[in-house]
Structure 1
Amino acid sequence: MKNIYIRSIFLFLGLLLSSSCSDYLDKESDTELTLDGVFESKTKTENWLAACYSRIPDPTWGYTRSIGQEILADDMSPSERWRQYDWQVIPFALGDWSVGSPWSPSYWNGLPQRVRECNILIKNIKPIPAQNLTENEVRLMIAECRFLKAYYYSLLINTYGPVPFNPDEITPVDYNLPDLQVGQTPYDEIVKWIDKELREVEQILPASYSDGRKFGRATSIMCKAVRARMLLFAASPLVNGNSEYAGHITKDGKVLFNSTYDANKWKIAADASKDLILNAEAAGHRLYTEMNAAGKIDPFLSCQNLHLIEASKGNGEVLFARVAVESKEYDRHTAPTGAGGAGGYGVTQSLVDAFFTANGLPITDSNSGYVETGFSTQDGYWPNGITKFNEVKSPGLVTLAGTYNMYCNREPRFYLAVNFDGAWYTDGDNAGKDKGRKLEFFNGKKDNNGTHDAPQNGYLARKRTDPTRNPINDYFAPRHGILYRLGEAYLNYAEALNESDPGNAEVLIYINKIRERAGVRPYTTGTTDAQNIHVDNDQASLRKIIRMERRVELCTEGIRYDDLRRWKLAETVLNGPVYGMNFNGKDASEFYKRTAYQTRVYRKSFYWFPIYLAEIEKNRNLIQAPFWDK
């Protein structure tokens, strides 16, 4: 081991740790060290551990620009011409995707490297009493690495399906190439290992840390969250009884996907989500809420700030966060050009249409009160209570007189997710001068300069953006990135329970917890009235409302793409024209028209990322992902 050297690349902490953590793990100078030298120092050992964490995805900028989960789904859409700036997944969404396409996150190569580093730490770490690295701290650091290995494998199988799998291997420096040329392990076998590993590790790790500098490090709650989401995916139609994968086998005839449906997988997923919920709540996690002056939930501030307030400042909804994220770039690209932003990162018309009306009904319901065309004659205020939303202009203001009716009379989450033409906009620059202004998305107006740096579909994303940002003066408030939150766990549980135990009363209970926080009427199996909405208590009806609720509550958070994949709906939903308002319209008569600004292509092969052709050529034991070789 003494002849193996590491460089300072493994000692940088920036990808994981915020400034609040930088004093906990000290940085090292650029030097070469033997492994013995690393693990004889507490500081260097902690630095090695920090590097093990560095492949945790960025759920703000990473999910959008780099990893691309939101671009590949149907919630968000960047300017198509941003592909010239190396937005690699834009061509993927348009069907221009091959086994040779570059993808900068490169999970195939990068995640196994981090698994190897975890294994090296597990094998070499030891207590250093003189430096206060105790037996218990070593035990926890080993458990952290075991968590990371399981988590990284969960990302690998979510991306590629079956992958080569040897979780405890440390490839020697003098390896023989044939030793590395192994094929894939069946999907269900890897799921089983991850499940077992996480259940063991959660018995070791604490639910939280009293030392705030350790925020972001693995906990038992994070183990449960990763496990619950993975098992929900594993129970879903894409990988549970998918007959299209029956012939997907290794070179030696091993079946890589089990094409026989197993109903018990839904029960396993439901149990995992319920276990997560109960333990998270016992550890103090709660749906994030803020109260209004009347002592009731303020849906606007609650749903907005759950993405902005850090766990250390009272946000108990956060289950798993990445400390250092590129929120600045997300805020810049969603800010209008008239305010100094890049101004081309918008949401789709289909997402606009997905939000409920103020009375909690979908716009397709004849009782919703939805009106699509024409313009409002007076300012619109949130009717169901007091809120500080838009207090710079007028508390509770949601639409101004003259707003296109499509945007009027909608639920709070709509106004928190979508910036539309005529919406009242404030940021750090104009709030102190003229108390904000209306957004102007007509072509040639303040926020549409007619270039790729303008909302190509007539909308900009608002959710998860910082209302105090000031792009002109380059001010963006830093924040953590949320990878898992309790609200998702509630909806995961409702879905898995509905599939495994139709009619169970807890399905509606957990959906309604989300709706009540959002300020919309909950569902009931009884009669519709002013406080409740009737829904039939059968599996198909509840499945429909669960999917509608997931689309709205979890939109633009990196989850929608996996939902469409696991439900086997991606090749239907993500094929064809994508609509918005008319980017070229210079007045109301031209702009307010549903216009196809893009045509997307989604083939059966796209459900999984392909294995790079170069990897297949190096290792003939690998099998390309389903349908990519057809």
Structure 2
Amino acid sequence: MKNIYIRTIFLFLGLLLSSSCSDYLDKESDTELTLDGVFESKTKTENWLAGCYSRIPDPTWGYTRSLGWEIFGDDMTPSERWRQYDWQVIPFILGDWSVGSQWSPGYWNSLPQRIRECNLLIKNIKPLPTQNLNEDEVRLMIAECRFLKAYYYSLLLNTYGPIPFSPDEITPVNYNLSDLQVGQTPYDEIVTWIDKELREVEQILPTSYSDGRKFGRATSIMCKAVRARMLLFAASPLVNGNPDYAGHATKDGKVLFNPSYDANKWRIAAEASKDLILSAEAAGHKLYTEMNSAGKIDPFLSCQNLHLVESSKGNAEVLFARVNVESGEYDRHTAPGGAGGAGGYGVTQSLVDAFFTANGLPITDSNSGYIEGGYSVNDGYWTNGVTKFNEVKSPGLVTMAGTYNMYCNREPRFYLAVNFNNAWYTDGDNAGKDKGRKLEFFNGAKDNNNTHDAPQNGYLARKRTDPTRNPTIGYFAPRHGILYRLGEAYLNYAEALNETDPGNPEILIYLNRIRERAGIRPYTLGATDAQNIHVDSDQESLRKVIRMERRVELCTEGIRYHDLRRWKLAETVLNGPFYGMNFNGKTAAEFYKRTAYQTRVYRKSFYWFPIYLAEIEKNPNLIQAPFWDK
């Protein structure tokens, strides 16, 4: 076999290779190895495989700071002035986005590189009996690479839409440029390939590993999770018969998006989600819950700790996790300035408004008990069950006397997702000595120093943050990052089932499992009473409650933006003013006013990332993503 030279150091750094073709196979005379040499060593083979895994996204800091999925959506909002620190997607949400804009994750170049590395392993790996690398292990490593290829293609497809697609190709060192100048493959053809590949690979991979050191490596459950999410997107209005993309075709006339709506895609998506659920539950996965002293679900600790407790410590809800994540940076930027944090990463007013009240109704319902103005007279406690939430101050305390009424009488997930002015903030240190105080977001107060490191719209994000963090001394507890969890699978199934079989009783069964864990009344087709909330059985009514539940349950997890895209709602929801409390307010009368702090722009072209102009210029067969060239 022709020698291909690779820097040894790349094997140990996850093969962080250059994005340009000419630099892809780098050489350094004093450290070079042949490709044969790599796969003659078990250690080097394992390091190569680790490099193949290296582009799995970080769902803590990556979804926010790097990829930007939560900034793109309407859940989270960073300090706009952080753009000076190269927060690249902040200009994007303001409409300053072009075919030449830089985006550091660079999926277009980086993911094909990892796919190529997977192909090289698949082609060259072999058993090494003297080094305890046997045929079964080789078979699993090949299956892992097949999973990673399918997963990376699903990320490319979700980001760019139709892409150049050669899943098994290994570009030779002496390539001809014309060999690389291929056009895009239709969206549905790529979906079909990914679907088939994942279904085949899930038959090879185990449901889990007994060796804890293999946590995070590909499993059959991960295959099913990636497949189910992809098929839900593929059934949705953006790509299922979208008339906006009629005529979007390659230069030789091949249509890239199917112009005809196919209802069967929803059935396929529903079946994939149900298959995931049944297989995951059979393998021991279940919603994460913690019980209170009365033997019932504690919604506060359950919903908080499902994002903090790792699988090895009893969190069976996790289906797909990344082990090495930058959770400390997420914790730092969501921590208030008065506690040593960067203090500028908040949530939007629309997310605040999306949470239900304590009786499970939306704030727009006249029976919800919601009051927006004025202030509470007494401390507010969660009275629907015993909880240790805010145990340092007083167990079950959710609001203190003098809290703006907008934040009172809300459901548990609200208090776990939103840090608002006058909320009780628990400060922790690495000795475990907890302390706490009220948050002070008025301008010039302890947590608003009127700089970029302050909540620009009067809120900070709380969900997925560690209550023991202490930025002052640099203590941040490490944790895994969750890419897929069972709660999402329940909601995916409910949505897809409603689109293909409205009125199916399983819709409410799975929707209500989420609400039960959250501590609020479930839905029923019967009459509303103290235990249940009536909902009509027609498709549109159920679609509305499913989407409301997704917004709340999955908020700040990197999912909302893609929901808005696939429902074709992004150009409506993400256009116009975004609101919060008044950052400049120094008194209650000034601060507690719905104030537009930002005006966002979302054009029809923004549904897909553009192909960089430089790539279009290099490859005349590429077609720019829809509407970017208009």
What TM-score do you get using the length of structure 1 for normalisation?
A: 0.97
Secondary structure of residue in 2 paired with 1:457: coil
Taking a change above 3 Å as real, the CA distance of residues 9 and 482 of structure 1, as seen in their structure-2 partners, is farther
Q: Secondary structure at the match of 1:521?
A: coil
**How far off is 1:2 after superposition?**
4.7
2:515 aligned with 1:550: no
The answer to whether the 8 Å contact 1:157/1:187 transfers is: yes
Write out per-residue CA displacement over residues 49-69 of structure 1, whole angstroms, 9 at most, x where no aligned residue.
000000000000000010000
Deviation at 1:12, TM superposition (A): 2.8
- Unaligned ranges ≥5, structure 2: 17-29
Note the residue ranges of structure 1 that are not aligned, 5 or more in a row. Answer: 17-29
1:15 to partner: Cα distance:
10
Which SS does the other structure have where 1:436 is aligned? strand
Work out the CA distance in 2 between the residues paired with 1:264 and 1:477. 45
Deviation at 1:424, TM superposition (A): 0.2
Helix, strand or coil for the counterpart of 1:426? strand
1:409-429 per-position Cα deviation (integer Å, ceiling 9, x unaligned): 000000000000000001215
Show CA shifts across 1:500-532 (max 9, x none).
001100000000000000000000000100000
- 1:82-97 aligned at under 5 Å gives the runs 82-97=82-97
**Hey, what does 1:409 align to over in structure 2?**
409
How far apart are the structure 1 equivalents of 2:352 and 2:425?
A: 18
1:32: Cα distance to partner? Answer: 1.9
Distance 2:132 2:500 in 1: 49
Label 1:404 to 1:15 Cα distance change in 2 as closer, same or farther (>3 A).
farther
Instruction: Supply the AA of the counterpart residue of 1:233.
Output: F
> Quick check: 1:622 aligned with 2:616?
no
- Indicate conservation of the 8 Å contact 1:2/1:34, yes or no: no
Percent identity at matched positions? 88
SS at match of 2:577: strand
Aligned AA (2:292):
N
Partner-residue secondary structure (3-state), 2:482: strand
> How far apart are the structure 1 equivalents of 2:390 and 2:9?
46
Moved over 4 A (4+): 13-16, 429-434
Superimposed CA distance per residue, residues 444-479 of structure 1 (whole angstroms, 9 cap, x where no aligned partner): 000000011100000000000000000000000000
- Distance (Å, rounded) in 2 between the aligned partners of 1:306 and 1:259: 41
| Equivalent residues of 1:204, 1:220 under 8 A apart | yes
Match of 2:110 in 1: 110
- Asked if 1:181 is matched to 2:181, the reply is yes
2 CA distance for matches of 1:289 and 1:75? 25
1:259-296 deviation per Cα after TM superposition (whole angstroms, max 9, x unaligned): 10000000000000000000000000000000000000
Distance 2:416 2:13 in 1: 33
Q: Which residue of 2 aligns with 1:201?
A: 201
Aligned-residue CA RMSD in angstroms?
1.3
TM-fit CA distance, 1:13: 5.7
CA distance in 1, matches of 2:151, 2:426: 39
Question: How far 1:299 moved relative to its partner?
Answer: 0.2
Amino acid paired to 1:540: E
Contact 1:72–1:561 (Cα < 8 Å) also in 2: yes
Displacement, 1:435?
Answer: 3.1
Q: What is the correspondence of 1:354-393 to structure 2 with a 5 Å cutoff?
A: 354-393=354-393
Report the equivalent of 2:515. 515
Per-residue deviation, 1:364: 0.2
- In structure 2, give the amino acid aligned to 1:532: N
Q: What's the secondary structure of 2:571's corresponding residue?
A: helix
Secondary structure of the structure 1 residue equivalent to 2:572 = helix
Name the structure 1 match of 2:331: 331
Q: Retained in 2: the 8 A contact 1:306–1:315?
A: yes
SS across alignment from 1:599: strand
CA distance in 1 between counterparts of 2:384 and 2:357 reads 13
Q: How far apart are residue 10 of structure 1 and its match?
A: 3.5
State how far apart, in whole Å, the 1-side matches of 2:15 and 2:476 are.
18
Q: Is 1:244 matched up with 2:244?
A: yes
Q: How does 1:102-501 map to 2 (within 5 A)?
A: 102-429=102-429, 435-501=435-501
The reply on whether 1:530 has 2:530 as its aligned counterpart is: yes
Q: Report the 3-state secondary structure (helix = DSSP H, G, I; strand = E; otherwise coil) of the residue aligned with 2:563.
A: helix
Q: Deviations over 1:32-84 (max 9, x none)?
A: 21111110111100000000000000000000010000000000000001000
**Counterpart code for 2:428:** G
Contact 1:392 1:431 in 2 (8 A): no
How far 1:5 sits from its partner (Å)? 1.1
Query: What's the offset of the Cα at 1:430?
Result: 11
Amino acid across the alignment from 2:519: G
CA contact (8 A) 1:287 1:316 kept: yes
Query: How far apart are 1:31 and its partner, in Å?
Result: 3.0
**Alpha carbons 1:2, 1:36 under 8 Å: kept:** no
Normalization by structure 2: what TM-score? 0.97
Partner of 1:11: 11
- Offset, 1:8: 3.4
Shift of 1:316: 0.2
Instruction: Summarize the Cα distance change of 1:170–1:228 in structure 2 as closer, same or farther, 3 Å threshold.
Output: same
Q: Is the 8 A contact 2:427 2:435 kept in 1?
A: no
Q: Residue 101 of structure 2 aligns to which amino acid in structure 1?
A: S
Deviation at 1:628, TM superposition (A): 0.1
Contact 1:156 1:163 in 2 (8 A): yes
Once the 2 structures are TM-superposed, how far is the Cα of residue 385 of structure 1 from its aligned partner? 0.6
SS of match in other structure, 1:55: coil
**C-alpha displacement of 1:629:** 0.1
2:375 maps to amino acid:
F
Letter in 1 for 2:42: K
- Give the residue type in structure 2 aligned to 1:82: W
In structure 2, distance between residues paired with 1:231 and 1:241: 15
Distance 1:535 1:386 in 2: 28
How far, CA to CA, are the matches of 1:308 and 1:224 in structure 2? 24
Paired with 1:11 and 1:462, the residues of 2 have a C-alpha distance of: 38
Q: How does 1:593-604 map to 2 (within 5 A)?
A: 593-604=593-604
After superposition, give the CA deviation of every residue in 1:366-423 in whole Å (9 maximum; x if it has no partner). Answer: 0000000000000000010100100000000000011000000000000000000000
Contact 2:429 2:475 in 1 (8 A): no
CA distance in 1, matches of 2:431, 2:595: 33
**Shift in Å at residue 3 of structure 1?**
2.4
Whether the aligned pair in 2 keeps the contact of 1:202 and 1:224 (CA below 8 Å) is: yes
Residue 579 (str. 1) matches residue 579 (str. 2): yes
Do the aligned partners of 1:14 and 1:324 also contact (CA within 8 Å) in 2? no
Structure 2 distance, partners of 1:14, 1:429, is 33
Query: What is the aligned residue count?
Result: 617
CA 375–132 in structure 1, closer or farther in 2 if over 3 Å, else same: same
Aligned to 2:19: none
1:139 and 1:175 map into 2 onto residues whose CA distance is 30
CA contact (8 A) 2:14 2:47 kept: no
Deviation at 1:431, TM superposition (A): 10
Q: What's the CA shift for 1:434?
A: 8.3
